[in-house]
Structure 1
Amino acid sequence: MNKVIRIGTRDSELALWQAKTVQQALEQTGHETQLVPVKSEGDLNLDQPLYEMGITGIFTKTLDVAMIQGKIDIAVHSMKDVPTLLPRDIVEGAVMKRANTTDILIHKGLDFLENEGTIATGSLRRKAQWLHKYPSHKVVDLRGNVNTRLKKLEENDWNGAIFAAAGLERIEIKPDNFIDLNWMIPAPAQGAMLIVAMENDIYSRKALSALNHRESEICVHIEREFLRVLEGGCTAPIGGLARIIEDKIHFKGALFSIDGKQKIEVEKIVPADQFQDLGKTCAEEILQNGGAELMKKIKSILKN
């Protein structure tokens, strides 16, 4: 049986770029496809910080519903936006080869770094890590797709804003006035694209299996397991990065307080064939070293 695989995607420029990349890969393996753009609640509400909206998977929920209703066959996501537990009957189809994992600062000059300054980001993880390094700075909320955020940075008197390098590189709008934030631990699965399908859709799942990049899949699963064991969602200031270097997995993860004053970190190097439960082991170490108490504080702050 052949069928046209309907690809669900958010309708931002970056999301469409990702969906078209998947579309080209599927068509190169002989499959017919159709793009189906959908607006998510996270895209529509640009005034409220993500963590205040109280919805797990705010950028994926609309596509999940469309898939369950049979309006689309697969959905393409930035994997860092995907909840660690997928909805019932929806499964991972493929993790594409991972792009740049680095966070970058787009700035209007760097003199402010050693003085007072204002940085914009909608991410609690980025905010906490920035304040940990630069406690005298102010961090303001910044929402919207990458184009909207770049425009807001231009229009405001902020010193800079933090972005994922991968998003700007994919749609070729990364400006010259940036620095890599190599000290900042990225979000679990940052730079990775995930394609999901219905569990009972054997045709689409078989088509997607040819697109899976095993090394990327292993690394992001370690990071997402780390995130899931720590707090089961996408709101706390948690960073995690796994890399495979010469048959060894190098993992670094951390939990921060929202104000950046507290940092609980873990680093491990294990043989590549021992990746099972690495994320869980690292998360449990953080929880035992004060992370459980810190997570309670974070959840209490976010509820109020």
Structure 2
Amino acid sequence: MITNNLRIGTRDSKLAVWQAETVQRLLKNAGINSELVMVKSPADIDLITPLHQFGGVGIFTKILDDALFKNEIDIAVHSLKDYPTQSPEGLTIAAVLERGPSQDILVHKGDLSFLNNEKEGLIATGSIRRIAQWKSKFPKHQTTNLRGNVQTRLQKLADNNWNGAIFAKAGLERIDLLPEHFEVLDWMIPAPAQGTIGVGCRNEDQEIVDVLKTINHRETEIRATVERQFLRTVEGGCSAPVGAFSTIEGDKIHLTAGVFELDGSNKVVVNKTFKMEDYKNAGQLAAKEVLANGGKEIMQNIDHA
């Protein structure tokens, strides 16, 4: 039975708490009271090691899954782009909230002249997906690792001689930290389900599953399913240089997705349109086309890097 006080597990960063409080408000509107339970992942504590060097997937989410298994929390709130495409046995993503902004943005210092100088540019990001796409467009620019919560990363940008740093627009916007100087990177394919909040729980807690279904946003669920299926089919982990973004127009769903060499030297990107009734297979079909057209070799190179 649902208690009168569901325990919502969340990381303790300002953005993660914002996400959890958003879920909390939706549950309150459904007549369910709750409290937040804070946890820290190893990647929250170690802000030096590049994310892809932690190994595996679910760097930020495993600690919350473990808390569910230990019955320390009742539901877990995730940034869905960080969550593995297959939940651990016994757990499920029972709801996704309406998607926020999905774009990557370049936060800069008011001078974008470096974008016209192919040899000089120093960009900070901890994402190899962003690095690969930036180097694909600006092959002679340099990148540097950037870790930490949103506030920490913005401060590091201010304190260093970098030309800019890449962020998810949703993260900055949600906690009112979107700065004056930023450029939307409309050419960069975002991470699958970027800007989407996922809510997980134990499969056996059917009453909680049913409650979470009432706050699920169906269109976002469909789009996330397509994008994450693409990721899963190309066998890319959450830290792999894989991008996927879908839109729905009428009875059609459009998908732009691709894989990128780590150094930006090669990429395979597709643009596909599917009937909405076929959305459950759309990501897989697009991924198979990418793999057949050179994506398989790119992913093998990444595995051996």
Instruction: Place the TM-score, normalised by the shorter chain, in its bin.
Output: over 0.9
Aligned counterparts, 1:144-293, within 5 A: 144-293=148-297
Deviations 1:165-202 (A, max 9, x none): 00111101100100100000000000000000000011
CA positional deviation for 1:117: 0.7
The one-letter amino acid paired with 2:289 is E
Secondary structure at 2:239 match in 1: coil
Query: 1:168 & 1:131 partners in 2: Cα distance?
Result: 24
Deviations 1:12-46 (A, max 9, x none): 00000000000010011101111101111111111
TM-score (norm 1): 0.97
Secondary structure at 1:166 match in 2: helix
The one-letter amino acid paired with 2:100 is A
TM-score (norm 2): 0.97
8 Å contact from structure 1 (residues 187, 240) kept in 2: yes
Secondary structure at 2:20 match in 1: helix
Query: 2:133 & 2:249 partners in 1: Cα distance?
Result: 25
* 1:113 matched to 2:115: yes
Query: 1:221 & 1:30 partners in 2: Cα distance?
Result: 28
Query: 1:216 & 1:235 partners in 2: Cα distance?
Result: 22
The one-letter amino acid paired with 1:94 is A
8 Å contact from structure 2 (residues 51, 126) kept in 1: yes
Query: 2:140 & 2:116 partners in 1: Cα distance?
Result: 9
Query: For residue 93 of structure 1, what is the aligned residue in structure 2?
Result: 94
8 Å contact from structure 2 (residues 11, 41) kept in 1: yes
Secondary structure at 2:212 match in 1: helix
8 Å contact from structure 2 (residues 125, 143) kept in 1: yes
Q: Which moved more, 1:237-246 or 1:6-15?
A: 237-246
**Identity in percent:** 50
Secondary structure at 1:275 match in 2: helix
Q: 1:243 to 1:47 in 2, by over 3 A?
A: same
CA positional deviation for 1:235: 2.4
Deviations 1:75-104 (A, max 9, x none): 000000001111110011101000000100
CA positional deviation for 1:2: 4.1
The one-letter amino acid paired with 1:13 is K
8 Å contact from structure 1 (residues 5, 204) kept in 2: no
CA positional deviation for 1:294: 1.3
8 Å contact from structure 1 (residues 92, 196) kept in 2: yes
Secondary structure at 1:219 match in 2: helix
Deviations 1:47-81 (A, max 9, x none): 10011111320100111111100000000000000
Query: For residue 127 of structure 1, what is the aligned residue in structure 2?
Result: 131
8 Å contact from structure 1 (residues 84, 232) kept in 2: no
Deviations 1:253-278 (A, max 9, x none): 01110000101011111222221211
Which consecutive residues of structure 2, in runs of 5 or more, have no partner in the other structure?
none
* 1:17 matched to 2:21: no
Query: 1:114 & 1:260 partners in 2: Cα distance?
Result: 18
CA positional deviation for 1:246: 2.5
Query: For residue 81 of structure 1, what is the aligned residue in structure 2?
Result: 82
8 Å contact from structure 2 (residues 123, 164) kept in 1: yes
CA positional deviation for 1:247: 2.4
